[in-house]
Structure 1
Amino acid sequence: MKLSYVYILKCSDNTYYTGVTSNLNNRLIEHKYGKYSESYTYSRRPITLEFYAEFTDINIAISTEKQIKKWSKSKKLALINNEFEKLANLARKTFD
């Protein structure tokens, strides 16, 4: 069974990058050393791994990555901090 990973990196500019990979250790090394100069994290190094989740189905991993990429920073922080009870409320929009 091949595992896939969805991960969240914190960049030096306090932004978050979400990605998906089948080799987490290798991908983190690529981010750390800036293998791809056109990537989001290249100019925002150093980076730190804040969160990752394992998946046995790559399609679910890709779907999860796409979902998290649309989330607000506060919702990503709730996930990173294991504050799962906050996720539903952070999904609601407030209108003035």
Structure 2
Amino acid sequence: MAWTYILRCRDGSFYTGSTNGDLDARVWQHNHDEHWAARFTIKRRPLVLVYAEQFETIDAAFFREKQIQGWSRAKKQALIDGRSAELPALSGASGVDDASTGSATQ
């Protein structure tokens, strides 16, 4: 199984990623492993898993990761909080979110 996940960093920023392996092991890597952790997360430890979605394929998980990375912080927070009904209203006026597609959002 594959996963898309969101981590909350020590500084309050979010990191969105995906993995085709063990989700708990991947979170551990972000928190402890210098070699396999993302550069962004190494400097913002400790990290807490705040959201995860499971997918059949890594391609589907990666697609969802990129989608979420393009969202505003408010939209990510609504997803984390389970307020899915609010997600459309939190999109930009054109239906496309205003945030960059980076993997971290402050």
Q: Shared fold (TM-score greater than 0.5)?
A: yes
Q: CA deviation at 1:93?
A: 3.3
Q: Which residue type is aligned with residue 61 of structure 2?
A: A
For 1:33-76, what per-residue CA distance to the aligned partner results, in whole angstroms no more than 9, with x for missing partners? 14237611000011100000000022111110000001010000
Distance of 2:28 and 2:53 partners within structure 1: 18
Q: Which has a greater percent of helix?
A: 1
Distance of 1:24 and 1:64 partners within structure 2: 16
Partner residue, 1:69: 69
Would you say the 8 A contact 1:11–1:17 is kept in 2?
A: yes
Would you say the 8 A contact 1:34–1:41 is kept in 2?
A: no
Distance of 1:87 and 1:24 partners within structure 2: 25
1:12 to 2, 5, 10: 10
RMSD after superposition:
1.6
Under a length normalisation based on structure 1, what TM-score does the superposition of the two structures give? Answer: 0.88
Distance of 1:76 and 1:29 partners within structure 2: 22
Deviating 4+ runs (over 4 angstroms): none
Under a length normalisation based on structure 2, what TM-score does the superposition of the two structures give? Answer: 0.80
> Are positions 1:56 and 2:56 aligned together?
yes
Identity %: 36
Q: Which residue type is aligned with residue 31 of structure 2?
A: K
Distance of 2:34 and 2:23 partners within structure 1: 15
Runs of 5+ unmatched residues, structure 2: 95-106
Larger Cα-atom Rg: 1
Distance of 2:65 and 2:31 partners within structure 1: 20
Going from structure 1 to structure 2, the CA distance change for 1:38 and 1:55 (only over 3 Å counts) comes to closer
